[in-house]
Amino acid sequence: MSPDRKLAELIDPAVKGTVNVLGACAKSPSVKRVVLTSSICAVAFSSRPKTPEVVVDETWFSDPQFSHQLKTWQWYAISKTLAEEAAWKFAEKNGVDMVVINPVLVAGPLLQPEVNASVEPILNLINGKKFPNSSFGWVNVKDVAEAHIKAYEIASASGRYCLSERVVHYSELARILNSLYPTLQITTECEDDGHYVPTYQISKEKAKSLGIEFQPLEVSLKETVESFKEKNIVNF
């Protein structure tokens, strides 16, 4: 898909839609605070190095130019980055009390009958596909929901809140799934033969200030797979 088409289909709606909602909120005296769902894609994608010792926190901002280089999530990352940037500019200019939630990949029980982009990598592993040479953070959907509620209810909440229980390489994701469901024999093969992309850390400090206690990744993965089974997405 061409960049112009991506601009029309993903970026413009994300930016304009976000600003339009904030505009409606700004006109309503009954709206006291806006809690905006953004993404870690608006935080962590820049030229700053990410290694196991590096801690990504709420002061980081993604660089749209860097995001153009991504192999996956490219346009999603750009749209989320620009939408959040526009939201902060609007909120500051118009005096909107806004709090932003920046979750990583969200796992856990599915509400919808179909598989979304966050949990598709888990399904791919179950279906025998090789894993990509990538490292991503994961968080439980129930923790994300709780964070949104707390961000609204707690008067002192402000700014951005990164939500991540753990950042793992896909090889670790495969290992955990194998330990939970040994009969599935999840592949241990990577899509390429290069050195594994390093993991990094995402700060939990601000999230903890909301009272969030993250569900372990193992729990989130098990809940995801069991939800797949309940919805007949997988059968074993």
Catalytic positions are: 80
211: tokens are 């009272």
Query: Pick from 31, 56, 63: which is nearest to 206 by CA?
Result: 56
φ/ψ of 105, rounded to 5, equals -65, 135
Q: How many CB atoms lie within 10 A of CB 101?
A: 21
Q: How far apart are CA 213 and CA 87, in angstroms?
A: 28
Contacts with 141 (C-beta within 8 Å, 6 or more apart), sequence order: 106, 107, 108, 109, 220
Q: How far apart are CA 171 and CA 131, in angstroms?
A: 7
Contacts with 43 (C-beta within 8 Å, 6 or more apart), sequence order: 56, 58, 60, 61, 62, 102, 160, 162
| Region at 128 (left for phi over 0; alpha for psi -120 to 50; beta for the rest) | left
Please name the helix (run of DSSP H) or strand (run of DSSP E) that holds residue 73, with its range, or none.
none
